[in-house]
Amino acid sequence: MMVTPTDPVLYSFRRCPYAMRARLALAVSGTRGELREVKLSAKPQAMLDASTKGTVPVLVLPGGAVLDESLDIMRWALANRDPEGWLARDDAELIAMNDGPFKRDLDCYKYPEYCSADARAHRESGLAFLREIDGRLAGVGQLCGPARGLTDAAIMPFVRQFAAVDRQWFSALPLPHLQGWLAGHLASGLFATIMARATTWSPDDSPLAVTLPQLSPGDWRS
């Protein structure tokens, strides 16, 4: 697919949960553009020129406007095109719990060496959020009803990271709705699309080299 100067550019890091949620919304909305995979230890100057805060994801729009918050990127992409009705499933309060206390617990559980409190305490407090999610999913399937939406895509990458710290512990939890929900998202065509490997971008690369993930609506069900 050709990238044209009228396409947006996304600076992204494959394993970053914030970048994942942005790519999920860009992919489901069918937004075309150029994906620039970066190294967090060597951020490209072009990205820092666009957004000095130095976090991914960053979306640079054709007119030069810059979105450097993952939720803004999701909402922008879905405002343009929302074939699955994700914006109707946007629970800002639950996402704020994820991005605030749960993310702090995740970081301290995953990287206890950088935290004063012990990892187990943070695992326990993160578990309270997982229980909340499991309860929300029971009998419904997704976080805002039977179909996936913005809230699921915004939270799932963080639960994925939490689960991966100790898979055995996670899979033994009595939280079947949460485990099924996570497994379903990880097995989806949409997730496979946004996790395709990309080589690190360099300003010398041809803009034709890589493009934002593309997905036809419905592919994820396969």
- Which of 1, 39, 40, 124 contacts ligand GSH by CB under 6 A? 40
Of 56 and 190, CB closest to ligand GSH = 56
Residue whose entry in the numeric block shows the structure tokens 């997905």: 215
The answer to the question of residue 182 lying near ligand GSH (CB under 6 A) is no
Buried b (16+ CB within 10 A) or exposed e, 48-79: eebbeeebbbbbbeeeeeebbbbbebbbbbbe
User: At 210, is the secondary structure helix, strand, or coil?
Assistant: coil
Phi-psi region of 159 (alpha: psi -120 to 50; beta: other; left: phi over 0): alpha
The answer to the question of residue 98 lying near ligand GSH (CB under 6 A) is no
Which residues, numbered 56-95, are part of the site for ligand GSH (CB under 6 A)? 56-57, 69-70
Cis check: omega of the bond before 203, within 30 degrees of 0: no
The answer to the question of residue 164 lying near ligand GSH (CB under 6 A) is no
User: At 9, is the secondary structure helix, strand, or coil?
Assistant: strand
Q: Which stretch binds ligand GSH (CB under 6 A): 16-24, 124-132, 156-164, 210-218?
A: 16-24
Q: Which stretch binds ligand GSH (CB under 6 A): 9-17, 148-156, 159-167, 211-219?
A: 9-17
Minimum CB separation of residue 195 from ligand GSH in Å reads 15
Q: What's the CA gap between 118 and 93, in Å, rounded? A: 27
CB-based contact 193:163 (threshold 8 Å): no
Minimum CB separation of residue 81 from ligand GSH in Å reads 21
Q: Which stretch binds ligand GSH (CB under 6 A): 24-32, 53-61, 76-84, 170-178?
A: 53-61
Minimum CB separation of residue 68 from ligand GSH in Å reads 7
- Contacts of residue 128, defined as CB under 8 A and 6 or more positions apart, other chains included, come to none
Sign of the CA dihedral with 142 first, then 146, 147, and 149 last = negative
Of 83, 191, 90, nearest in space to 143 by CA: 90
Minimum CB separation of residue 18 from ligand GSH in Å reads 4
Q: Which stretch binds ligand GSH (CB under 6 A): 29-37, 49-57, 90-98, 174-182?
A: 49-57
List of residues contacting ligand GSH (CB under 6 A)? 13, 16-18, 40, 54-57, 69-70
